[in-house]
A = this chain, B = another copy of it.
Amino acid sequence: MSKAAAKIAARIRVKPGTKPALKKINQRDVDFLGAEKDVRAAFDEDVVAIDKLQDHMFSDGTKSLLVILQGMDTSGKDGTIRGVFSKTSPLGMSVHGFKKPSELELAHDFLWRVHAECPRHGSIGIFNRSHYEDVLVGKVRKLAPKDVIEQRYEQINNFEKLLVQSDTTILKFMLHISKKEQGERLQERLDDPTKNWKFNPSDLEDRGLWDDYQAAYEVALARCSTDHAPWYVVPADRKWARNAIIAAIVRDTLENMGLKYPKMPWKPSDFKID
């Protein structure tokens, strides 16, 4: 692991078995990253490296990477995908946004629709929201009985373990923004006619439940940050810092997956092309 990425990762990883105090994590303080100019330069290199690594992963064909993005409305899930994977070929990538479940999806266990979207070997899958919604909005809005919600943390851990044991590496990022920053971003969506479509009146209801959501996040992070699939809390008020942190960790993770070109059952000299 590169020293810089390791330092960042160690700092923002939720240590398994501990409960993060989200209120104590400053969403705007990113001084630990170093000078903004240097951070941006490193980011530019990282996104190019991610493309090359993804290409290598595609040829390797035996492993996959699942990137899970969670965060309050406007926390920058879309922007992260656009930023971090801006140079990555869509070949061998998939993005899936999980919205309110359909009737068919609700007629199954909550992991059914998630399992179906997991990335195939050789590819990177990105979840824009995920099964964690079922212990976040599910809990805050009481969409399921308490004991059902309670069971889900273990179910999630077991499910993620299955994926990891099946050669999928999992990275989970909580984009941690401040309520103040969210207010500004929501206002911007109202002020800019080309952003109106991103505004959903129900976002204001969720904003009204801010503290409940933060509490639900703390429980989810505490119970589901595991050695096999850790959670990272990303200070996300500054978009450039958010993207740089995630790109550094994604790049480093890919570099440490031991990607190889597959061994072919033939020698090049076996063939002659006419």
In the complex, A145 has a CB within 8 A of chain B:
no
Query: Chain B: which residue is nearest A269 at the CB level?
Result: B190
Contact with B along A48-75 (1 / 0, CB 8 A): 0000000000010100000000000000
Number of copies of this kind of chain in the complex: 2
Contacts of A94 in B (CB 8 A): 90, 94
**In the bound complex, what is the Cα–Cα distance between A130 and B13 (angstroms)?**
43
Pair B91/A81 contact, Cβ less than 8 Å: yes
Known pairs A82-B89, A90-B90, A207-B274 / 20 extra A-B pairs, C-beta < 8 Å: A59-B197, A61-B197, A81-B90, A81-B91, A82-B91, A85-B90, A86-B89, A90-B93, A90-B126, A91-B95, A92-B95, A183-B273, A183-B274, A186-B273, A187-B273, A190-B273, A191-B268, A193-B261, A199-B271, A201-B270
Q: List 6 A-B contacts (CB under 8 A).
A: A61-B197, A82-B89, A82-B91, A85-B90, A199-B264, A207-B273
